Structure 1
Amino acid sequence: MQIFGFLGSLLGYILWGAFYILKDFGLSIIVFTLIVKLILFPFSVKQQKSMAGTARLSKKQKELQEKYGNNREKYSEELNKLYEKEGVKPMGGCLTTIIPLIVILGIFYAVAYPLTNTLHLNSEDVNNALSYINTIPGYSASVNPTYQEISLLKIFPNIMNTEAVQGIFNAQEISTIQMFTAGFNTFGVDLLAIPKDYGIFSWYIMFPVLCFASNIGSQLVMTMINKNQMAQQQGCMKVMLFVLPLFSAYIAYTVPAAVAFYWIISAVISLIQSIVLSKIFSPAQLTANSEARHVAAMLENEAKIPYVYAPHELKSGDGANSKKKKKK
């Protein structure tokens, strides 16, 4: 957790920079997510190439399985030869999957801990402030500890002038927190609100609904893009792909809207990116590129073969002229 917190603190500088310019946390999350996606774009390209390359060879891989089904060692040997011949690195997508996942967790920590990771306030001061608000009568002690910093921002305008808060933060820090709190109203929606507190018939129910829709849409698109790989998965794995969006919707219902908003924006941008990359680096496109490389290699090899004169050319003495004519 400390590693992700450290990464979240680093990414928080980007989020704070966007907020400092835009003065709106919702818009800052959009810009912030776009910037991070651009940074991770090379990894996404490698991952898509690896997935498309593996899918392209799925038919040949199945043929090798049928041929060497009882000889796992021979099958692995021939499969590696196939991958090497076609220039496919099946494990190439592993690292490119892990790194973005770690960064995503760092982004979550930047959004979920805005005081320590975005404003970079002293963690001890923040903890003292959290301890103070937990003593306030009527304050919801059931708030998930993970999102207490966001909850502190929500009630900060009501407690900023108290002796306890002014004894924890200096005047400049209080002014910054106040300015930061004012930026959580995006398009008339309070991103500090928790949908659960307002019920399923409030406008805030749109956050879990959109969270579910964006995640299920992403899963459906990825299923269509990677038909061959999805077809090989067990039924329980397929069920999980649709259960997880429901779980994310439930979480979005119980956490501050700012966190759910980030999940939605991230899912939508990832969905668009997946569609674009699947068009550019599809199995069919990679096959066409591979065939083009093979043809180019054949032509290059043919050009290196020395010209052999026919007997009648040698007798007539115009072999060189004939060669020039043929070359023309």
Structure 2
Amino acid sequence: MQMNFIYELFGTPLGYVIWAIYQVVKNYGVAIIIFTIILKVAMLPIAIKQQKSSAKMGAFQPRIAEINKKYAKNPQKKQEELTKLYEEEGYSPMKGCLPMLIQFVILFGIIDVVYKPLTHILHLSKDVIAKAAEIIGGNAGAMNQQLKIVDAIQQDPSKFSELGQNVIDKVNSLDLNFLGLNLGSVPNWTSILIIIPILAGIFSFLQMFVSMKMNPMGETPGAGSMKMMMFVMPIFSVWITFSVPVGVGIYWILTYVVGIGQVLLLNKLYNPKELREQAIAEMEERQKARKKPVVKKEIKKDEKGNEVVVEETVSQKEINRRRLAEARKRDAEKYGEEYVEVTDDDLK
């Protein structure tokens, strides 16, 4: 019941989009293809940001490798140093998860749309669908109930005369076949539909392979997980497309096919090497700015009591030292502890 709610939550808005496309093309399979392309185009800005983010990550790979080596036996300190580095460079590792998260959200919606063509494509009322479900019997809460209704009406419309000729005509006009495949059928090992899970696995692997080839991650923290995903995602893709109707499988395959084209296009428009060189230059500039002495101005009184502006050139390291010393003094006074002088080790 809870999963049905999640499917409906994402399926309802997507259903209207695919319905609008279907009204133009009058072909369910073509509507799914067009939807997939529109979705990929809409997500292009996110993909561009991810491309630039990956290049930025590559810019400070040497510093990441240095931290990994230096604190190999101290995971907590290593994580602290990596977090500090990310904050300094304005990088967030979690941003790379956003496209994957969106992809799964869309998948839930597509599953609902394909399983419920009477709701999303024909816009039949719940009462009409419930009445049709009573006629065919079976489990009223089953995900494939509407697909069974479509099949039953198209095979023997006379059994559903009480629904009205208008409803029967609508259902008969719905063609779930595409390239000789029934989009409402679930693949199994003994049918031609097994080609869908096989293609899903192949294109899933190809997209991960092309992405890693075009954007090598070196020794970055996400490199190991990316390599693992290159093999996990194809297995997951095969499993998921064996569990859902062919319509969902076609969307899944197209997502990877268009994704491969997107990776190739982005690498041409936003060359990773050039982006990385730019990111390195920007990082070096920030490092110079952090090391550059800061001129501090302070108003003081001279021996005669006159206010004068006193300038002092202070390094960023000295500023950090003074801030930490002030914080320690406040804590020492507040908690009655002994004040400990700040050392260079504290500033590393």
Q: Same fold (TM over 0.5)?
A: yes
Match of 2:151 in 1: 154
Deviations 1:237-276 (A, max 9, x none): 665344324424543xxx5432322222222122322333
Tell me which amino acid in the other structure corresponds to 1:114. Answer: P
On the 8 A contact 1:114/1:149 being kept in 2, the answer is: yes
Match of 2:306 in 1: none
Task: Measure how far apart 1:71 and its partner are.
Answer: 5.2
Q: What is the DSSP-based 3-state SS (H/G/I as helix, E as strand, rest coil) of the residue aligned with 2:102? A: helix
Deviations 1:21-49 (A, max 9, x none): 11111111111111222233333333343
Tell me which amino acid in the other structure corresponds to 1:179. Answer: S
On the 8 A contact 2:115/2:143 being kept in 1, the answer is: yes
Which consecutive residues of structure 2, in runs of 5 or more, have no partner in the other structure? Answer: 288-348
Task: Measure how far apart 1:115 and its partner are.
Answer: 1.6
On the 8 A contact 1:215/1:245 being kept in 2, the answer is: yes
Aligned counterparts of 1:193 and 1:97: Cα–Cα separation in 2: 26
Q: What is the DSSP-based 3-state SS (H/G/I as helix, E as strand, rest coil) of the residue aligned with 1:232? A: helix
Q: Say whether residues 1:247 and 2:239 are aligned partners.
A: yes
Deviations 1:164-193 (A, max 9, x none): x233x444333322222x3x2334444344
On the 8 A contact 2:51/2:272 being kept in 1, the answer is: no
Tell me: CA distance 1:131–1:40, structure 2 relative to 1, closer, same or farther (3 Å).
Answer: farther
On the 8 A contact 2:36/2:255 being kept in 1, the answer is: yes
Aligned counterparts of 2:46 and 2:89: Cα–Cα separation in 1: 21
Aligned counterparts of 1:15 and 1:67: Cα–Cα separation in 2: 53
Match of 2:50 in 1: 47
Counterpart among 257, 262, 267 of residue 246 in structure 2: 257
Shifted more, 61-70 versus 41-50: the winner is: 41-50
On the 8 A contact 1:47/1:93 being kept in 2, the answer is: yes
Tell me which amino acid in the other structure corresponds to 2:224. Answer: Q
Aligned counterparts of 2:157 and 2:81: Cα–Cα separation in 1: 69
CA-atom RMSD in angstroms: 3.6
Tell me which amino acid in the other structure corresponds to 2:171. Answer: I
Match of 1:98 in 2: 101
Tell me: CA distance 1:37–1:271, structure 2 relative to 1, closer, same or farther (3 Å).
Answer: same
Matches of residues 1-328 of structure 1 in structure 2 within 5 Å? 1=3, 2-70=5-73, 74-134=77-137, 145-162=142-159, 165-167=160-162, 169-180=163-174, 182=175, 184-196=176-188, 199-200=190-191, 202=192, 204-224=193-213, 225-228=215-218, 231-233=223-225, 239-248=231-240, 250-251=242-243, 255-281=244-270, 283-291=272-280, 293=282
On the 8 A contact 1:68/1:75 being kept in 2, the answer is: yes
Aligned counterparts of 1:174 and 1:19: Cα–Cα separation in 2: 19
Task: Measure how far apart 1:291 and its partner are.
Answer: 4.3
TM-score, normalization: structure 1?
Answer: 0.70
**Count of residues paired in the alignment:** 282
Tell me which amino acid in the other structure corresponds to 1:209. Answer: I
Tell me which amino acid in the other structure corresponds to 2:29. Answer: G
Identity of aligned residues (%): 28
On the 8 A contact 1:153/1:192 being kept in 2, the answer is: no
More helix by share: 1
Shifted more, 67-76 versus 267-276: the winner is: 67-76
Which consecutive residues of structure 1, in runs of 5 or more, have no partner in the other structure? Answer: 136-140, 299-328
Tell me: CA distance 1:80–1:281, structure 2 relative to 1, closer, same or farther (3 Å).
Answer: farther
Deviations 1:2-39 (A, max 9, x none): 13313211111111111111111111111111122223
Aligned counterparts of 1:245 and 1:256: Cα–Cα separation in 2: 13
TM-score, normalization: structure 2?
Answer: 0.67
Task: Measure how far apart 1:80 and its partner are.
Answer: 3.7
On the 8 A contact 2:205/2:231 being kept in 1, the answer is: no
